[in-house]
Structure 1
Amino acid sequence: MLLTFVILVFLFSPVTSLQCYVCSSSTTNEECNQSSQSCQQPLDTCMTIVDTLGHMKAIVKQCASSATCKGAASTASINADGNGNTVNCCNYDMCNLSAADSVEAQAALLLLSTACVLLLQSH
């Protein structure tokens, strides 16, 4: 009964746009996190690209489709000198605060979701 109620709440909740930090070619994460945007469909992912060349960094944050972000992430690479680029994808509001925070927050959210499902199944 409770599980049915939870599912119905999620199915009939109002759909809201994903909110992402956005910037183009900022040199620091703090500078990059000054502005946010509501992503319009089919853009369902916050994408962060960090290009590194020596001591210089260029950070780009934007809304993207999941397929575009995953494709970019699959071709990203860093060489032995630390030069190259990284691409991080996430899909909850303001998750692209920083690449490390995104990974940690995604792991915590996954653990919380799993715990809720297990708890609901045990009743």
Structure 2
Amino acid sequence: MEIFMEVLIIFAVVMVYLCTDCHGLMCYKCENERNNFLCVGEYNLKQCDSGFDTCQTTVSYSEVSEQLSIIKTCTKNSSCHLQIKEHSESVPCDQTGSSWICTTCCNEDACNLNTATSKASFSFVLSYMNIFLYLSIKCII
């Protein structure tokens, strides 16, 4: 009976290890959203296809549209870092120009929760504050 329990425990440990490797990376995904709050809902957390090992967040600003655009997706690590290199981004990303693009890459489940810039993060915080205030007022009334 003792050997059976040891074998069962070893089997369980191996299965847990295999299942955590086979499920694939989970990243937040959204296209051209104007604030981070719209990108990080539970419904936005998606499993990446096989071969994608990196979560990417790209935030861009255009002086023409005067709007932020946030894109979160699954990609390959080499592609993500190539995009950073293409835009000659420094860390932290330079947001002083009239138009800019900031990209971040990460390799853990749900790691692209935050944005690549402080401006988009500020927008995210404002969204949460608005919801909190609305709920607070609704509870008082």
TM-score of Structure 1 vs Structure 2, range by shorter chain: 0.5 to 0.7
1:78-107 CA-partner distances (Å, limit 9, x unpaired): 46335210110000000000136xxxxxxx
Distance 1:82 1:96, change over 3 A: farther
User: Which of 21, 40, 43 lines up with 2:49 in the alignment?
Assistant: 40
- SS for the counterpart of 1:13 is helix
The one-letter code sitting in structure 2 at the alignment partner of 1:43 is F
Match for residue 96 of structure 2? 80
Match for residue 121 of structure 2? none
Aligned: 1:95 with 2:104: no
The one-letter code sitting in structure 2 at the alignment partner of 1:26 is E
Give the TM-score of the pair, scaled to structure 1. 0.65
The one-letter code sitting in structure 1 at the alignment partner of 2:17 is S
- Quote how far apart the aligned CAs of 1:33 are: 1.1
The one-letter code sitting in structure 1 at the alignment partner of 2:59 is V
CA distance in 2, matches of 1:57, 1:19: 24
Match for residue 38 of structure 2? 31
CA distance in 2, matches of 1:74, 1:59: 19
Aligned residues: 92
The one-letter code sitting in structure 1 at the alignment partner of 2:75 is A
CA distance in 2, matches of 1:18, 1:28: 23
Match for residue 120 of structure 2? none
Match for residue 56 of structure 1? 67
Structure 1: runs of 5 or more not aligned: 1-8, 101-123
The one-letter code sitting in structure 1 at the alignment partner of 2:110 is M
The one-letter code sitting in structure 2 at the alignment partner of 1:96 is N
Match for residue 19 of structure 1? 26
Tell me how large the CA RMSD over aligned residues is: 2.4
CA distance in 2, matches of 1:82, 1:95: 28
1:1-54 CA-partner distances (Å, limit 9, x unpaired): xxxxxxxx79x8211311000000000000111211101221110000101124
Task: Determine what percentage of the aligned residue pairs are the same residue.
Answer: 27
The one-letter code sitting in structure 2 at the alignment partner of 1:57 is L
CA distance in 2, matches of 1:52, 1:28: 12
Which 4+ stretches in 1 moved above 4 angstroms? none
